[in-house]
A and B are shown apart, each in its own frame.
Chain A
Amino acid sequence: MMMKKREACFALMYDRGSFDHYWEGTNLRTNETIATVTRVSVMPMIAIGILDQLNAYIGVPYVKTESDEPNGGQLQGAKGFQDLTIALKYRAVHTDMGPGKFSAFVASGYAFPITNYLSDYRPYSIGNGTQELSLRGIVQYRWDMGLYLRGMGGHLFRGQTAAERDYYYANGSYYTRWMDVPSAWEYNVVAGFWLFDNSLKIEGTYYKMQSTSGDDIRKYNAAQPTNRVIFDQINASVQYFSKHVKGLGALVYYNQMLNGRNMGKFAGFGVGATYQFSY
């Protein structure tokens, strides 16, 4: 969970997800105008151990979206560098407790767009086009034999995004280009297992994100950054830490959304390579 002081880890992640159903409000539907939408992202990121208890993270994904063929809309997808995220994680508690260890963390992150991508271009827009401040609390209990359980709760403070039109409808008229992107609560529960002398980690996650405000996608109409987005998702991952090449690791995961609101029902996978080193 934490880099030690003067340790760093570089990761390159490839993520690919797609949906052919989406929730229009809470109504799950298809739409041949967009058919199946695929979103691919390539993200370099780095984790830095500032102290044993304090890590920093920086990452920026390159995202590309498009519909498959045939589709009725014939719309361009979108692509570009999305948001730069800078985060800090602080381990406040790390203590022996029974047959294992208990840890508690706080994490704070700040993300903002680094290109002028158009957020008001759903479902193809590569991001929300606004700044996001995240505050998370994490608790973990890890048994000495390798099993661990983790829980996270957090809040995502989001700002406004600039559309490229100065009238929009969201349960009423707005005479402005600025759209309020709803803030959200999020939480997850994780169960995992370390095997083979800590060289393999298998993990299952349940995640939910719930926006606290926003309007619903209107009937057979495009989504808008003002929408109230809610979804939950399960994720299964396997991470390998090489004993042969010092510092090298690999990661593969699969995820699937279960329920949602104003969201594409994504299913997808990711692969990544990691390299940990001292500096």
Chain B
Amino acid sequence: MKKNILFVLVSCICAGIFIASCDNHEMPRYAAYSAYEYSQLDENGGTWTPILLTGQEGITVDPPADVNSAEYQSELDEVKGLQANLSKKQREEVQYWTNNPLLRWNEIANELAAKYNLIPGPNPDGTYTLPNPATPEGPSPFPFAHPAYTCRMLAYLSVAQFDALITAWSYKYEYNRMGPSHYDDEIESAYGHSDLPSYPSDGAVVAFVSRDILKAMFPLEAAYLDERAEQHLGSLLWSGANVPSDIDAGKQIATEIVQIAKARAAADGMSKAQVNKVISDSIAQSAFDRYGWKWENMEIPKRPVGLAPFFSQVQMWSVPNVEDVRPGPPPAIGSAEFQEAARELQDHQDNMTEEKRKIANWWADGLGTYTPPGHWNRFAKEFLIKYKQNPLRSARTMAYMNMAIMDAGISCWDAKYYYHYPRPVQTIKGFKTILGTPNFPSYTSGHSTFSAAAATVLSHIFPAEKSLCDTWANEAAESRIYAGIHYRFDSEVGLTQGKAVAQYTLDKMMVDGAE
């Protein structure tokens, strides 16, 4: 009898442990891809039109040492010496960075966005202290990486990477010095035998540009970014992809480009985007005088100023004037169209389904995450891997997509604060939502404008993915209605708006020499 009981007990426990251990879904921390053979080399990439460079900057890269010189031979010996003593960690770094390390830096950028995408809470006295770049440690750490901040960060990162790589490509094909494995059989190239010239090092260009732009955008992460860049630069030698002089040449280019990018960033108007209460109230009053309504923050304690009311004044990349892409006004509060939209919202909340809930959550990309711009950068990354784009073309994809996303964001914020439309929780009595209402007005939806702009650019570069991108953008727009934080017209107009803004980006892309 006792044996039976023991048996039952033990087998139940074993069954339980077995069932419990079946929960071993992978939880990847970064994209699982390896170095790949580029689909094309883009030999004339150096002739493409850069975004910031005018050609007058006079960036020079000295000719490389001859491959038969003693100087170069000693560099080969250095690489061989390193390769003979690689540690496990160094091998892992080589595997991780791949021969398209721009994607890894994009992941790092998105991760920092997620880390810093936290809204300041109230002080004990009910006031709010916002992050200040002059005192980045606090009380609220700088930056608050909200969607406007993040899309701008990604745009400057991508544009700087792109311009720097165009310059690098130009010199690569002027000097035509290949990677060390071409000149010495004893040197192993972890990334395969590439026909892309290696002087200057595109990996070094990406490492230095990314490190320095991200340090400017996330000042508290300087030590961390230095460490990541060090590992990346080390892996360029450990992999056998470069010799040290390749890296030095890349650094020369990066240093110049970073200066130019920072100069534009310092003057683009972002420093004035988060206005004070006096200006914020006057913006609200203008809308109230015009339309008879104004958005208000409904949090407790109430936030006195919305998020970045003057983000609309930041310098756009491709659109001459933000008013050129401003949509028409939303339906008047209380009008038939408004009431229909409000009824739809109430209906969704009263009849929430698991499917609608999932769509709302899938596209939320809210506080604590990489934001909608980050989500689209993830899609772009996956396409770049799928289509095996080389670093230059990858940079071009990211640069144009992120410029379109940022222009769309500027246009969206222009509509938000010009029309100052109240959110559903403000207009619908007793209304509850399944996602939190953000600290900025309703019309138009940021998700919709960001997504439509990104989808437009990605569909242009990857025509086979147009249907998928459109589905994503439409679902992202719809998700905000299920969440209860946007009216249908916020999302529908937002989609149109994002597409219209991105057309200006496409116009530039079609004549930059890459197509």
Question: Interface of A with B (CB < 8 Å)?
Answer: 31-33, 35, 51, 53-54, 70-76, 88, 90, 106, 108, 110, 116, 118, 120-121, 130-133, 135, 157-160, 163-169, 172-176, 178-180, 218-222
Q: Is the CB of B121 within 8 A of A176?
A: no
Measured CB to CB, the closest approach of chain A to B198, in angstroms, equals 30
Residues in B with CB closer than 8 Å to A76 are 349, 352, 432-434
Residue B330 lies at the interface, judged by CB distance under 8 Å to chain A: no
Q: Is the CB of A32 within 8 A of B300?
A: yes
Q: What's the nearest-Cβ distance from chain B to residue A66, in Å? A: 9
Known: A74-B431, A168-B369. 12 other contacts (CB 8 A): A75-B436, A108-B16, A118-B361, A157-B16, A157-B20, A167-B374, A167-B378, A172-B111, A174-B27, A176-B28, A178-B25, A221-B368
B434 contacts across to A, CB distance below 8 A: 75-76, 121
Contact residues in A for B352 (Cβ distance below 8 Å): 76
Known contacts A173-B30, A222-B367: A133-B17 contact under CB 8 Å: yes
Contacts of A218 in B (CB 8 A): 118, 368
Nearest chain B CB to A32's CB is how many angstroms away? 4
Q: Which residue of A lies closest to B302 (CB)?
A: A72
Judged by a CB distance under 8 angstroms, whether B326 is at the interface is: no
**In the complex the two chains form, is B19's CB within 8 Å of A110's CB?**
yes
8 closest A-B pairs by beta carbon, nearest first, are: A159-B23, A220-B121, A72-B300, A164-B361, A32-B300, A72-B299, A178-B25, A169-B114
Q: Please state if A131 and B20 are interface contacts (CB–CB under 8 Å).
A: yes
**How many residue pairs at the A-B interface have CB separations less than 8 Å?**
142
Residue of B nearest to A158 (CB): B20
B16 in contact with A116 (CB, 8 Å):
no
Closest to B111 in A: A173
Q: Contact between B118 and A176 (Cβ–Cβ < 8 Å)?
A: no
Q: A73-B436, A166-B362 are in contact. Are A176 and B300 (CB under 8 A)?
A: no
| B19 & A133 in contact (Cβ 8 Å cutoff) | yes
B115 within 8 Å of A (CB atoms): yes
Q: Is the CB of B5 within 8 A of A53?
A: yes
In the complex, the answer to whether A133 meets B20 with C-beta atoms within 8 Å is: yes
Picked from B299, B354, B431, B435, the residue with its CB within 8 Å of the CB of A116 is: B354
Chain A, interface SS category? loop
Residue pairs across A and B with Cβ atoms less than 8 A apart, 5 shown, are: A53-B5, A76-B434, A165-B361, A167-B114, A178-B26
A88 CB contact (under 8 Å) in B9, B121, B431: B9
Which of A53, A110, A118, A167 is in CB contact (< 8 Å) with B370? A167
Question: Whole-angstrom distance from the CB of B114 to the nearest CB of chain A?
Answer: 4
